[in-house]
């Protein structure tokens, strides 16, 4: 009796050890998710990581990659600052030995972080819009979002043709992205005869914009173009534009719209235009599956920034399977560049420097919802 139970226990232990050994061979593919998880950009970072997690869950439910290896996210906080982004990437590579990195939500972070990952690890940059992220990138670097130059080309065309403005002023974040935005739009909008009456820069931890907005209001432009990359500051600016008594048109910068921003800004965003890679009324089955998974896992509403996070996972998972490897970065990068990928935001291809080509949609806030406009 006693002997039997000892035998049984030993057998069980052996079986357990055996399965553990099998599992150990099937190590997960570890993806570093480097995002702003504290500070004013914390919410945007949270949306991004949630978007990635929902897609990781979908990939894993379908059997993972490379015949049964699961995907695993390792998250790092870049606090939206270039220094912290660099140290997070170093930790991911040197201490945690992750397989690939997904990051670069803000341009200033992407621009410094790419130098740490150069020739060391395959890196997917996400919502960063600064052209130099890819133009001065490296062989193993890709970027999903359209560059601000690509966006401003399409957006300024619309502003010139349809919005009937004679003058405009800007309020812009004081970083690499913001400075380039102003440069692009000043040039493009002047070309079609819209007079640029001024620009005010703000810093990433400012909480009050009334002085800058008072100054812009005094210049009396037909429209104020708001370039805000995080939700907290964006909503504050949109509200304060109204609070300083400005009654002209508000224009939201490209690629920075999300449901939370609309909710927090209230009536101040009604009727405001923006452009996005994320068409909110798209019926793409992959998008619907991701939205369903996201809503099952999280309380927030699925957003553009989350969908870009999901797209990074989707491209990586498909490319890893197609290349048959994770760690041969040359091979994996070649595969990503050489194919068209069917993702939740539609088909995407990459050019020689790793820049994605995908659809850009015009959107407008109508009755408190983001809707696409034709």
Partner 1 sequence: MEMELVLLTQQIMNGLVNGMTYVLIATGLTLVFGVLHIINFAHGEFYMLGAFFTFFAAKLLGLDYISAGIVATLGVAVLGILANRFFFWPLRKEHEFTVLLSSLGLALLLTNGGELIFGADPKYVASPFADGIVPLGPVIVTQQRMLIFAVGALVLVLLYLFIQKTRMGKMMRATAQNPEGAALTGVDIRRVYTVTFMVACGLAALAGALVGPTAMIFPTVGTWAVLKGFIVVVLGGLGSIPGALIGGLILGVVEALAGGYISMGFAQAIGFSIIIVVLLWRPNGLFGAARRA
Give contact residues for partner 1 (rule: CB under 8 A). Answer: 37-40, 42-43, 45-46, 174, 200-203, 205-212, 214-215, 218, 231-233, 235-236, 239-240, 242-245, 260, 264, 266, 300
Cβ-based nearer residue to partner 1, 196 or 323: 196
Cβ-based nearer residue to partner 1, 59 or 182: 182
Beta strands in 189-259 (DSSP E): 195-202, 223-227, 249-252
Supply 18's token pair. 């055996």
User: Number of H helices and number of E strands within the chain?
Assistant: 13, 15
Cβ-based nearer residue to partner 1, 47 or 101: 47
Tell me how far, at minimum, the Cβ of 326 lies from partner 1, in Å. Answer: 30
Sorted by sequence, the CB contacts under 8 Å of residue 67 that are 6+ apart come out as none
**Residue 228 Cα to chain centre, angstroms:** 14
Cβ-based nearer residue to partner 1, 182 or 348: 182
Residue count of the chain, please give it.
Answer: 374
What is d(CA 235, CA 261) in angstroms, rounded to the nearest whole number? Answer: 6
Burial class (CB in 10 A: 0-12, 13-18, 19+), 98: buried
Cβ-based nearer residue to partner 1, 52 or 315: 52
Tell me how far, at minimum, the Cβ of 163 lies from partner 1, in Å. Answer: 24
The Cβ-side half-sphere exposure at 83, using a 13 Å CA radius, reads: 0
Tell me how far, at minimum, the Cβ of 290 lies from partner 1, in Å. Answer: 20
Tell me how far, at minimum, the Cβ of 305 lies from partner 1, in Å. Answer: 13
Tell me how far, at minimum, the Cβ of 235 lies from partner 1, in Å. Answer: 5
Cβ-based nearer residue to partner 1, 239 or 337: 239
Beta strands in the chain (DSSP E): 29-35, 71-77, 100-103, 123-125, 141-143, 167-173, 195-202, 223-227, 249-252, 273-276, 341-343, 346-350, 356-357, 361-366, 369-373
Tell me how far, at minimum, the Cβ of 43 lies from partner 1, in Å. Answer: 4
């Amino acid at each position: 009796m006693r002997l039997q139970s000892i035998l049984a226990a030993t057998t069980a232990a052996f079986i357990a050890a055996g399965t553990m050994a099998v599992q150990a061979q099937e190590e997960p593919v570890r993806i570093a998710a480097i995002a702003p998880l504290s500070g004013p950009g914390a919410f945007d970072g949270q949306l991004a990581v949630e978007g990635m997690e929902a897609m990781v869950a979908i990939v894993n439910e379908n059997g993972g990659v490379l015949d049964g290896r699961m995907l695993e996210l390792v998250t790092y906080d870049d606090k939206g600052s270039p220094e912290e982004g660099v140290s997070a990437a170093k930790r991911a590579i040197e201490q945690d030995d992750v397989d690939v990195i997904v990051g670069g939500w803000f341009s200033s972070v992407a621009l410094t972080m790419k130098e740490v990952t150069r020739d060391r690890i395959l890196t997917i940059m996400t919502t960063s819009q600064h052209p130099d992220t890819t133009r001065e990138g490296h062989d193993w670097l890709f970027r999903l979002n359209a560059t601000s130059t690509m966006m401003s080309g399409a957006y300024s065309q619309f502003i010139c043709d349809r919005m009937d403005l004679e003058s405009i002023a800007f309020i812009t974040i004081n970083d690499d992205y913001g400075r380039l935005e102003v440069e692009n739009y000043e040039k493009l909008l002047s070309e079609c005869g819209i007079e640029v009456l001024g620009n005010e820069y703000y810093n990433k931890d400012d909480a009050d914009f009334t002085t800058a907005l008072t100054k812009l209001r005094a210049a009396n432009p037909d429209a104020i173009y708001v370039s805000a990359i995080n939700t907290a500051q964006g909503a504050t600016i949109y509200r304060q534009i109204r609070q300083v008594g400005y009654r002209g048109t508000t224009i939201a910068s490209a690629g920075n719209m999300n449901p939370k921003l609309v909710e927090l800004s209230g009536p101040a965003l009604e009727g405001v235009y923006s452009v996005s890679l994320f068409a909110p009324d798209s019926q793409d089955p992959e998008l619907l599956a991701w939205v369903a998974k996201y809503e099952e896992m999280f309380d927030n509403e699925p957003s553009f920034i989350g969908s870009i996070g999901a797209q990074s996972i989707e491209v990586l998972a498909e490319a890893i399977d197609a290349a048959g490897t994770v760690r041969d970065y040359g091979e994996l990068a070649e595969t990503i560049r050489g194919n068209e990928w069917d993702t939740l935001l539609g088909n995407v291809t990459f050019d020689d420097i790793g820049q994605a080509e995908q659809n850009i949609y015009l959107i407008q806030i109508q009755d408190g919802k983001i809707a696409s406009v034709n």
